[in-house]
Amino acid sequence: MRSDRFLKACRGEAVDTTPVWIMRQAGRYMPEYRAVRAKHSFLEVCHTPELACEVTLQPIDRLGVDAAILFSDIMIPLEGMGCDVEFNPGPIMTPIRTQKDVDALRPFEAERDVPFVLDAIKLIRKELDGKVPLIGFSGSPFTLCAYMVEGKGSKDFANFKRLMFSNTPLFNELMTKVSDTVIAYLNAQAAAGAQALQLFDTWGGVLSKADYANYVLPHSKRIIANLDNSVPIIHFVKGAGLMLDTVKEAGGDVLGLDWHIDIGDAIDQIGQGFSVQGNMDPAYMFAPAELAQKTAAEITEKGKKARGHIFNLGHGIMPMASADTAKAVVDAVHEAGVR
């Protein structure tokens, strides 16, 4: 059944067909979303429960996906820590690089700092009425701290890596404070009604396997160990294809995969202790529909040897993607994934 196949796959239980959802499935590639954004800023949508609910629901029937994901942004909880975040179009903030900067960060309290997120979750659950589950999410501490130290996105993360290597105690203090925020934020989402939680580590793959193990893994492991284990936990580290054996030490129920590794090879590395999520190149969403469907079906077939497989892209769907192609891919997965 559509209503439970995603959660069953997360837990490694039998499903009628492979479930599918798409990272950033509520986004600029959809005309319905662009119509909302024509009237409201990005942060206004994130901060207004009714608008966040509206755009969260847009892909559910349009694409036929098996899960909804809360419309928000990974930077939202940092506002509660005292960071002044703007989007132009990506996140921009005053860099945090000194002991004084780290000391000035305030402890995060979900009810005080992000009541609009919790209200959005409750509203979305009510509107979904059991049709599909709702996924909550947070950025990982490494990814969030990377933006905090750089003050924006970066190609090389030179300032962040300099802090990590030259002042490791301060790096760990910052990572610990942000990890505390992530734990509180995700647990509050689960308490509000999120039925699965995804930890996004967009930039973890910029590190070597050894550096990931030394500087990131302890924090990710602590987060996952302290999350509400009554809901499935998805851990996605972009660029982790060469260190999945290390990433899986963090725990959780599902490992997300980007498109740089063959899903069959990834399953062999991971073993049967985890379900997997992924992993089509997002660029296929503006390829001819027939090619996208063929590729999706091949990934779906390979995914059947995993404990459980949730089809997804290897990262977020891009603005120039075709909504019609996305729908065709969802249909192809459901057809190829029949057990």
Choice among 29, 147, 215, 284 that is catalytic: 147
Who contacts 57 (Cβ-Cβ below 8 Å, separation ≥6)?
68, 124, 127, 128
Rounded to an integer, what distance in angstroms lies between the CA atom of residue 323 and that of residue 59?
9
Any catalytic annotation for residue 147? yes
Angle at 237 between CA 289 and CA 145, to 5 degrees: 125
Any catalytic annotation for residue 28? yes
Choice among 5, 24, 62, 307 that is catalytic: 24
Choice among 16, 37, 119, 180 that is catalytic: 37
Any catalytic annotation for residue 307? no
Rounded to an integer, what distance in angstroms lies between the CA atom of residue 82 and that of residue 78?
7
Any catalytic annotation for residue 281? no
- Rg of the chain on CA atoms, in Å: 19
* In the block, residue with structure tokens 């930077």: 75
Size (the chain), residues:
339
Choice among 4, 73, 281, 331 that is catalytic: 73
- What sections of 64-167 are H helices per DSSP? 76-80, 99-103, 110-113, 115-128, 141-150, 158-166
Any catalytic annotation for residue 215? no
Choice among 2, 4, 16, 28 that is catalytic: 28
Phi, psi of 115 (to 5 degrees): -60, -30
Catalytic residues: 24, 28, 37, 73, 147
